[in-house]
Chains A and B, each alone.
Chain A
Amino acid sequence: MNFDPFVIPFNIGLYFILIYAVVRSVIWFRELSRPDKLRLQRGFFGRAFGQSLKEIFLESLIHRKILKSNPRLGYMHMSLAFGWFLLILFGTIEADIFGERHLNPPDRAIFFRFFNPDHGKTFFESSYAFMMDLILAFILSGLVLAVIKRFSSKVVGMKKTTKLKPLDKVALTSLWLIFPSRLIAESLTSGAYGTGSFLTGSLGEWFASFLPANELAYPFWWLYSLSLGTFFVLLPLTRYLHIPTELFLIFMRNSGIRTGDRPGTYSEVEVHSCSSCGMCIDVCQLGFSAGINTIQATYLMKGIRNREELHDIAHNCLMCGRCDQICPVGIEISPIRMIVRRTEDIENVYESRWKGYLRSRINVVTPRQETGTSYDFLPVRKQEKTDVLYFAGCMTHLTPSIKKAMVRILDASGLKWSFMDEDGGVCCGRPLMLEGNDREARELINHNSDLIWKSGARTLVTSCPICYKVFRESYYLDLEVLHHSQFIKNLIDEGLVDLNYLQKRVTYHTPCELGRRSGVYDEPLEVIKHVASLEATGYDNENSLCCGGSLGNIMLSREKRQKIAEDVTARLTACSPDSLITACPLCKKTLAQATSTRVMDIAELAVEAIAAVPEVKKTRRGVSKKKVIGETTATI
């Protein structure tokens, strides 16, 4: 037998998807910016290529990251992806070794048993058939999990599963049909010829005992081919496009391309790479503490793909970064969300060619009508020369105990320092940026930068992680920016302050902006361990929670914030510590309203532990402080 019409649907699907992949890649490549094009070219011919192949194997086939954090879910993904890959690979080899000739077209390998029904008699042949059966069984076990997950997601250890759109359902059904129809088709053929191994062989034997196996096999071969063909043709219109795009994403990422702050090819590839695995749903506190189940990353990706209304999804998010951290595909979720927030005034008009198969994106910018600058009321201020400049930040002004603690620590250090926003100051600009108002934020940034430059300081210390992040990333400064936890750590290391050990058991809440957002984990922990006994909470470092007060979310009501905060404090004070320590004034304020345990900032803890302050240092600072107050009050 050389040809049978049943292979036609499969072939149509296969060649369609291959051509589609080429055309899509060319379009995406063309839309890349020039530097990114160069990066990608270099990535393809350099060391990054091997890295990409390795990553594709580990993440797209084995699904190592999912496997690590959720073994059952990981097994499900692995068995489908890796199993299918093995089936194709060994199927091709099988057709090559045992087929009539070498280098067969793909349909020969996929439908090998149909074209070679009596294959599998000799020992070598039958051991090969055994292996093929094993792979099929491996896939089918994953498929069973997938089907169960669809109806009850708890089985794979997940709380929620993603919702589907109609076309996805058709594609999903055809995907589900592929392997069972292959099993039955192979079994029936094997049954008729007495071949096959432990799975197809025994099943076939049993079928053949009461059914006309040979006649029945044919329709199932058709079904197998049809479901493959349907799945391939629908693939570009559904979420399953993530299977090929993820490969593209891995190559681009390893070539050094990043999301950036404007819409572009990379973010589009990321959006299409989301496998809807749902892991971002499970970690989102808005879901499990506040009952908001419509805004998680997977819905953002789906919303962008289907061009839905995005305002609420984009804005009702704490920007805590927990989903960025967990996403097994490595999608930079928060930068994408920021792009959506930033480009609200930009209308994305899609030209739909061939009913959505190839969309090209045109950005139409609706120019905002400007009515002069917003913050032209800001006065020109003077700033004295100093070594260390302290910026408390708006939130610290609302928590005076932190401010006082920092003033004491700075005094005790004996360093020459100056208080930049002693009488209020100007916001650092990050709250505006989080709303996508970069242009307005720039005015505040310029104002503050001016003062910082004037001070001639070598170190800028801030008490607020929100300010810390924006100082480091969006200001053009030529000095060292430290969060006060880092500053205190340096003081301890250099012996500039002596801290006693307090008989206290404490837990630590890592602020999102300091931890996941800025990567500062160790210094606060070291300071705490230096003065108290620190208990683990199970929500440490990357796995930390958001207090719920985040300025990243402009929509969240106070009640929901309170719910999140109560949930967080309950988890962090489960071991009934003496104090709950944090390193952010906003976290402190939010958490303190939700628990009876004392919530302290790390600076307050350090001040409690400060040993006697040497007299000399006190007087030196006493003089300079007067000067600071005198100057700043005079100029404002």
Chain B
Amino acid sequence: MDKFGFTLSKARVIDYEANDRTIVDYIIEREPSLKLCIECGCCTATCTTGNFTDFSLREIHILLKRGENEQVRQKIKKCMLCGKCILVCPRGVNTRNVVSLARQAFRNTEGYEF
């Protein structure tokens, strides 16, 4: 592959084997507005936590939908629930509840340490 100058960025690979939608389904059932997210990144741009780390709520949303829960589990605790992202989101996603429900989902789902 290298010969042709193409590489497959690992971040773009969706591993269907590992796609586990239990967490995202748990969230969407209780907070349907997650479906409205267009991954624009406004929330990430304003994020208080993002000021100190590479934490990105947009990334969290993408990972959730891809079912890459292990990565979400590691990152989700960093959010401070400050609520800036709700105010800037152009789609009206109730972002704080998404974070809170994700934490709750990890706590309530077998097989995750949280």
Contact = CB atoms under 8 A, between A and B. Distances in A.
Interface of A: 345, 368-369, 371, 374-375, 377-379, 394-395, 397-398, 423-427, 429, 431-432, 435, 437, 440, 444, 549, 551, 554-559, 586, 589
Main secondary structure of the interface of A (DSSP, over half): loop
Contacts of A368: 107, 114
Given A426-B48, A557-B94, A435 B100 contact: yes
Given A369-B113, A558-B92, A377 B53 contact: yes
B78 to A, nearest CB: 6
Contact of B97 (A345, A397, A423, A554): A554
B82 to A, nearest CB: 4
Nearest to B33: A557
Nearest to A344: B104
B84 A398 contact: yes
Given A368-B107, A398-B87, A378 B52 contact: yes
Interface of B: 31, 33, 46, 48-49, 51-53, 55, 77-78, 80-84, 86-88, 92, 94, 96-97, 100, 107, 113-114
A368 B49 CA distance: 23
B84 to A, nearest CB: 5
B97 A555 contact: yes
B83 A394 contact: yes
Contact of B80 (A431, A557, A559): A431
Given A377-B78, A427-B82, A551-B83, A394 B94 contact: no
Given A375-B80, A397-B84, A589-B87, A554 B100 contact: yes
A426 B80 contact: yes
A371 B114 CA distance: 6
A4 B31 CA distance: 64
25 contacts: A368-B107, A369-B114, A377-B55, A377-B78, A378-B52, A394-B82, A394-B83, A394-B84, A395-B87, A398-B46, A398-B88, A427-B48, A427-B81, A429-B80, A431-B80, A431-B81, A432-B80, A435-B100, A440-B77, A554-B96, A556-B94, A557-B92, A557-B94, A558-B86, A589-B87
A455 B8 CA distance: 50
Contact of A425 (B48, B77, B83, B96): B48
A121 B84 CA distance: 79
6 A-B pairs with the lowest CB-CB distances in the bound complex, closest first: A558-B92, A374-B77, A424-B51, A427-B82, A427-B80, A394-B82
Contacts of A559: 92
Contacts of B52: 377-379, 426
With most chain A CB atoms within 10 A of its CB, the pick from B46, B49, B52, B82 is B82
Given A423-B51, A435-B100, 12 more contacts: A377-B52, A394-B82, A394-B84, A398-B88, A424-B48, A551-B81, A551-B83, A554-B100, A555-B31, A557-B33, A586-B83, A589-B87
Contacts, number: 79
A427 B97 CA distance: 17
B23 to A, nearest CB: 16
B79 to A, nearest CB: 9
A371 B75 CA distance: 12
A357 to B, nearest CB: 34
A559 B36 CA distance: 13
Contacts of B83: 394-395, 431, 551, 586
Nearest to B92: A558
Contacts of B49: 377
With most chain B CB atoms within 10 A of its CB, the pick from A378, A397, A554, A555 is A554
Contacts of B92: 557-559
A377 B48 CA distance: 12
A437 B81 contact: yes
A435 B81 contact: yes
A379 B51 CA distance: 11
B94 A555 contact: yes
A431 B95 CA distance: 13
Contacts of B107: 345, 368
Contacts of B77: 371, 374, 440
Contacts of B100: 435, 554
A10 B37 CA distance: 65
A360 B97 CA distance: 34
Nearest to A371: B113
Given A394-B48, A424-B48, A557-B92, A374 B84 contact: no
Contacts of B46: 398
A375 B49 CA distance: 9
Given A371-B113, A398-B87, A426-B48, A431 B94 contact: no
A549 B86 CA distance: 10
B38 to A, nearest CB: 15
A557 B86 CA distance: 10
A402 to B, nearest CB: 14
A558 B51 CA distance: 25
With most chain A CB atoms within 10 A of its CB, the pick from B31, B48, B55, B113 is B48
A559 B84 CA distance: 17
A440 B55 CA distance: 17
Contacts of A554: 94, 96-97, 100
Contacts of A426: 48, 52, 80
Nearest to A366: B107
Nearest to B84: A394
Contacts of B31: 555
A633 to B, nearest CB: 13
Contacts of A427: 48, 80-82
Contacts of A432: 80-81
A444 B92 CA distance: 27
Contacts of B84: 394-395, 397-398
Contacts of A425: 48, 51
Nearest to A558: B92
Nearest to A437: B81
Contacts of B87: 395, 398, 549, 586, 589
Contacts of B97: 554-555
Contacts of B81: 427, 431-432, 435, 437, 551
A290 B87 CA distance: 19
